Amino acid sequence: MIYNLSEIEHIAKTIISSSKSNILLFYGEMGAGKTTLVKSLAKELGVQETASSPTFSIVNEYISDNNKVLYHFDFYRLEKEEEALDLGFEEYLTQGDWIFIEWPEKITSFLPLNAQKITITTISADKRQLTLH
Ligand SMILES: Nc1ncnc2c1ncn2[C@@H]1O[C@H](COP(=O)(O)OP(=O)(O)OP(=O)(O)O)[C@@H](O)[C@H]1O
Ligand SMILES: [Mg+2]
In order of their start, the domains of the chain are 2-132 (3.40.50.300)
Q: Render pLDDT for 38-75 as a digit per residue (tens, 0 to 9).
A: 999 999 999 987 655 555 679 999 998 888 899 999 99
Q: Evaluate: CB of 19 within 6 angstroms of ligand 1.
A: no
Residue 5 predicted with pLDDT over 70:
yes
- From the CB of 36, is ligand 1 less than 6 Å away? yes
pTM score: 0.95
pLDDT at residue 7, as a whole number: 98
The answer to whether the CB of 54 falls within 8 A of the CB of 74 is yes
Share of the chain above pLDDT 70, in %: 95
9 vs 86: CA distance, rounded Å? 34
DSSP 30-82: TTSSHHHHHHHHHHHTTB----S-TTSSSEEEEEBTT--EEEEEE-TT-SSTH
Mutate to test the pocket of ligand 1, among 3, 8, 35 (most ligand atoms within 8 A of CB): 35
Residue 26: which of 94, 111, 89 has the closest Cα?
111
Closest-approaching ligand to the CA atom of 33: 1
- Tell me which residue has its CA closest to atom 29 in ligand 1: 31
pLDDT band at residue 124 under the 50/70/90 scheme: very high
pLDDT at 48: 86
Residue 57: what pLDDT? 79
- DSSP letter (8 states) at residue 95: S
Model confidence at 31: pLDDT above 90: yes
Provide the pLDDT for residue 65: 82
74 alpha carbon – ligand 2 mean position (Å): 7
Crossing angle of helices 8-18 and 34-44, in 10° steps, is: 70
Lowest mean pLDDT among 46-55, 88-97, 121-130: 46-55
